[in-house]
Structure 1
Amino acid sequence: MIIELHLLQSFPTSNLNRDDLGQPKTVTFGGALRGRVSSQSLKKAARSLFPEVGLAEGETAWRTKRLLLQAAHELTPGEGEPGEEEHAIVREALQQMGFGLDTNDLTEYLLFVGTGAVDDLAAFCRDHRERLLTDAEARKKEQNSKGAPKKKKATDEAKKVADRILDARRAVDIALFGRMVADNKDFNVDAASQVAHALSTHSVASEFDFYTAVDDLKPDDEAGADMMGTVDFNAACYYRYANLDTGQLRHNLFGKEAKLDEDDEDLLKRAVSAWLNAFIRAVPSGKQNSMAALTMPDTLLAVVRDSGTWNLANAFLDPVPGKGVMGTSTERMWQHFTRLRSFYGDEEIRTVAMASLSGDLDGLQVPQGEQVGNLRKFTEAVLGGAVRG
């Protein structure tokens, strides 16, 4: 079963997701420059909301390079800072497990791991503290002329702990968004959710705000600003699209052949609900303290289907002109969906739910059975359709 979510969301003065020059990201689409928000930015914003939409801490994941630093803290008694001994023990454990480390004791790349990974690593280090310390001292003596330690074959127990650290089951973030481990493809996870870059339904031009600041303690007889600069921004109505394959989600959370018990079924339902509610509410954090572009989607369209996926971005291949951008965008999106439905058929479609704060759904001839009046009814229609499937 696949759930598709299509959103139209207008942001005022904002720089939600900036490029390497500090400017709002853009893309040329249909021959016109559009505002863009990357899928990575939207996924991060959604992940940050998971604890607020029904997921417990142990059901989410961390993206981190700091496994060593966190585990060393757990090995340190009391509230003190870990010393070199604790660092050496965890460093040796990670190296024996096959994790590469840089000179700052960070893993070579970001690892997407369940929140229990640090506890598993610390427990292994605690149980084998003396051996790991001895191995660490021996490794240090065996360093080659460049200072790189010689690799040792991982023990079976170290491999088992590495497997636990990288176990993605029951970690909803990893199940939804997937994971790639460069050194070992066995730990790769195919994402259950695909997320598109949001793009503006109309053409945009980046602008900039010139600002100044004055020293509050400056003498009254001294004029002029003490700081000045510019901040880039735009304002745009974005089309956002994401989908979720509930079958892949189930596989990622519990394994291909797993038989689900009552707790498993509950987690699966909450994971789907969290995905839906988090993406509806997700707003990137870029420049929010200075611009507070904290809007909600205006138009929401969801489709529950057996197969197939339709990104509706081509509804805006010709940029929406002039005023009334949200109303025209809503009309364009629904008409494009209706044409696809008519041409390709809708046998695989189980449920359609559409809501709009400002759009005239009756005027767009949206069937009454596919109109919903508020967010609660919208999510109930989507989740109910997915469960029935």
Structure 2
Amino acid sequence: MASNPAAAAGATPASAPPPDDWMTSISRQMHGMSSGDRAALRRMELTRSPGADAVAIKTLLRADVPESRIRDDWPRLRLIGHFAGLLSGTAALYPHDERRGVGAALFEAGFSEKRLLRLLASRGGAGRPTGPRRPHPVAGTPGREPVGPLSPAGRRSGQIRRRPAAHGAALLRRAGQTFRRTGATVTRGFRMTTTATDGIVPKFIQIHFLAAWPGALLNRDDAGLAKRLPFGTATRTRVSSQCLKRHWRMADDPRALHELAKQNGVEGLRSKFAIEQRVTAALRETHAKELVDAIELALLKTIYGDKSKLYDGTSASVRERQALLLGRNELEYLRQQAEMVAAQTTDPKEAKSLIEAWAKERDQKGNLKQLREQNALAPSLEAALFGRMVTSDTRANRDAAIHVAHAFTVHALQTETDYFTVVDDLPVKDDDAGAAGVFDTELTSGLYYGYVVVDVPLLVSNLTGCDRRDWTGDHDRALAAQVVEHLVHLVAEISPGAKKGSTAPYSRAELVLVEAGDRQPRTLANAFRDAIATEDRGSNRSLGHRTAQAMAGHLAELDRMYETGEARRLAALPDMAVPEVANGSLRELAAWAGQVVRDARA
């Protein structure tokens, strides 16, 4: 720790007249400060890093605090800089008005500066000078150890009186309850918790998760083996994004996306047989087969393409069809057109001509487009979230608002071939062992990293029909917020998996990190480009802890390089907590993510 701050910084005395308390002047320096420097100020009472002291010195000099004042009042000014860093929030998120200085925020909260310093002094790692202040020698003087109230020598000489850490934490909790009234940042122990989402305009919400499954076959390839992914230094086990999305949509869970679609009347159906089963099925009970066949074939060619054929019970007859996703409203629209034609004629040829004429009138695809413009969710909630591609009609396509990456193990592939037999309960011979079959299957274990991105403007646009550039306008974003909340729960709680009967592949995420920001999202998968060692004999740390720390370290490096300023929240087991990110329950995390979408303003 620098005992002669001004000399260490190599600065010159400032000529500006000093403010009375310096707090407002110092707090102004937080605006425009890099996220790395701000993080150093927030962590300085934990790290005791000379680098953090250097940031404090730089901040004080920029605030025009004279060198002499820094020398004489270093512990007090250092703590003021530390607290200004705390109040500045996380990266670019400023919960309180930047133009209102720290002093003003304290005044509104009913705190005096002295009381603040007493609170900071009561923390286990933050001392308060009680003895006489000793002079600070010039930093780096040969043969002389720096001495100051907060230096190692100062601690040994008894200049610092410590209070129990628990006592300091209790005082800080009481301080946090008061600061909530001002919208400022609250400290719980040593971790920052953002209590306000005002000012966040989240173009993207990113969800990162770590989840482990032992002895399972979560996702198989065409050979029945676990899907794999070569990445970095090792080949990993993989779970495809299609597999994850399917389980999130169709899970037997009250938050499953198909349940949400049902509640809002916007279910979708992905099938090659939608026309036969949902459009013309009722007509077959009341009209001649030849008439219905003509209507059905004309609709099939309109929706699935000119090569479509009537289904004759063979797979060849539906080979040219796409497993198309159609919404309930779209199917109802097609059913009404089919019934209208059937009511107008009994001649199959005329019925075919009427369907073709309807399709060409302003172009049938334009009619479906018009239906979508009248009801944004006509193609279904699933299409609004995960997109839709219609090869026969590009204008019916929908871009996906939720992007899902393939999950993969953070370490090298761990696999085992499971050899098993089937026993015949009725053996023919007494000496027959009863083996009716010998089989083998592959099982894998692993800790997986997964990544999901929500394009919030596109999500709101797909759900409400608004222009994505106007998504923060006066639109009902309640469903969009509900989708995000449900998605956070589903990512953490729903397990994919084949061979459920023999492996019971049910697990839950041990870490879920959610970020909200306005810059292009970025995966944290590269934290595991060098595979995490499953065993580390040099430490007693668990694989989960080392994985979470690798992810947190990579995130910190990206923050220092790009300074994109995302707001973050976390739900994690204690062993996998991420420093400086508020850690709460999954319910709190999902509610926060939904609130960010619901309350966003341009």
- Aligned residue pair count: 370
Query: Which whole-Å CA distance do the structure 1 matches of 2:347 and 2:368 have between them?
Result: 20
Query: Which whole-Å CA distance do the structure 2 matches of 1:22 and 1:126 have between them?
Result: 45
* Partner of residue 254, structure 1: 464
Query: Which whole-Å CA distance do the structure 2 matches of 1:241 and 1:212 have between them?
Result: 38
* Partner of residue 146, structure 1: none
* Partner of residue 297, structure 2: 91
* Partner of residue 5, structure 2: none
Pair 1:278–1:163, CA change in 2 (3 A): same
> 1:313 offset after TM fit, Å?
0.4
> 1:133 offset after TM fit, Å?
5.5
* Aligned partners of 1:50 and 1:278 also within 8 Å: no
SS at 1:59 equivalent: coil
SS at 2:359 equivalent: coil
Mapping of 1:214-225 within 5 angstroms?
A: 214-219=423-428, 221=430, 222-225=432-435
* Partner of residue 268, structure 2: 61
Pick from 329, 344, 350: which aligns with 2:547? 329
Pick from 239, 248, 252: which aligns with 1:37? 239
Q: Which protein is richer in strand relative to its size?
A: 1
Query: Which whole-Å CA distance do the structure 1 matches of 2:543 and 2:345 have between them?
Result: 63
TM-score norm. by structure 1 comes to 0.84
* Partner of residue 300, structure 1: 512
Pick from 357, 361, 367: which aligns with 1:156? 361
TM-score norm. by structure 2 comes to 0.56
1:380 and 2:585 aligned: no
Q: Deviations over 1:183-208 (max 9, x none)?
A: 22211211111111111000014322
* Aligned partners of 1:5 and 1:242 also within 8 Å: yes
* Partner of residue 145, structure 1: none
Query: Which whole-Å CA distance do the structure 2 matches of 1:166 and 1:91 have between them?
Result: 24
Residue type at the aligned position of 1:228? V
Query: Which whole-Å CA distance do the structure 2 matches of 1:260 and 1:335 have between them?
Result: 33
SS at 2:495 equivalent: coil
> Which stretch has the larger CA shift, 242-251 or 252-261?
252-261
Query: Which whole-Å CA distance do the structure 1 matches of 2:547 and 2:218 have between them?
Result: 21
Q: Which protein is richer in helix relative to its size?
A: 2
* Aligned partners of 1:97 and 1:154 also within 8 Å: no
* Partner of residue 20, structure 1: 222
SS at 1:209 equivalent: strand
Query: Which whole-Å CA distance do the structure 1 matches of 2:381 and 2:445 have between them?
Result: 33
Gaps of 5+ in 2: 1-201, 312-316, 536-541
Query: Which whole-Å CA distance do the structure 1 matches of 2:253 and 2:534 have between them?
Result: 40
1:245 and 2:458 aligned: no
Q: Deviations over 1:245-298 (max 9, x none)?
A: 110111122324489999943322222323333333332232222211110001
> 1:241 offset after TM fit, Å?
0.2
SS at 2:556 equivalent: helix
1:202 and 2:392 aligned: no
Pair 1:166–1:64, CA change in 2 (3 A): farther
Pair 1:96–1:384, CA change in 2 (3 A): closer
Query: Which whole-Å CA distance do the structure 2 matches of 1:296 and 1:121 have between them?
Result: 42
Moved over 6 A (4+): 137-140, 164-168, 258-263
Pair 1:384–1:263, CA change in 2 (3 A): closer
Percent of aligned positions with the same letter in both sequences? 27
Query: Which whole-Å CA distance do the structure 1 matches of 2:230 and 2:345 have between them?
Result: 55
Higher relative contact order (Cα pairs below 8 Å, separated by 6+ residues): 1
Pick from 551, 557, 568: which aligns with 1:352? 568
SS at 2:260 equivalent: coil
Query: Which whole-Å CA distance do the structure 2 matches of 1:312 and 1:211 have between them?
Result: 39
Mapping of 1:99-248 within 5 angstroms?
A: 99-100=305-306, 101-104=308-311, 106=318, 108-130=321-343, 134-136=347-349, 154-156=359-361, 159=364, 162-163=368-369, 169-170=376-377, 171-219=380-428, 221=430, 222-248=432-458
Gaps of 5+ in 1: 141-150
> 1:8 offset after TM fit, Å?
0.2
Residue type at the aligned position of 1:371? A
* Aligned partners of 1:246 and 1:272 also within 8 Å: no
